[in-house]
Structure 1
Amino acid sequence: MIGARRARAVMAMAAVAPLAGCITLEAPDEPIVIELNINITQEVIYRLAEDAGNTIDDNAEIF
């Protein structure tokens, strides 16, 4: 049983081997564009600003 599977696998690889030379890859003509979600950055900045405002309110004598 294992020998038959191995034989089928070898035959399949032998059948696919001639096709390996037909595959070509080319670089795209246009650059790849990655769009980032700016809202994530703005939310983090807003939270930091709110936290800084609370710290100033809590420690007004330092500022």
Structure 2
Amino acid sequence: MKRLTKLRIAISATVALLALTACTPTVKIEPPDKPIVINLNVKIEHEIKIKVDKELDELLSNDELF
């Protein structure tokens, strides 16, 4: 009787182990077939405007401020 029970446990454990290993997910890492393309449509405009009043410009040119 004990032998039959041990045999059933062994068979059950083997079947359970095979069932668990059959459900193991497989992860594959592969490079893409096409290169990675990043489109950057960026337009950068930079504009600096300096306006000086005529009076202030005259003061700065005469060195009266400093």
Larger radius of gyration: 2
Asked if TM exceeds 0.5, the reply is no
Higher relative CO (Cα under 8 Å, sequence separation at least 6) belongs to 1
Shorter chain as denominator, the TM-score bin is 0.3 to 0.5
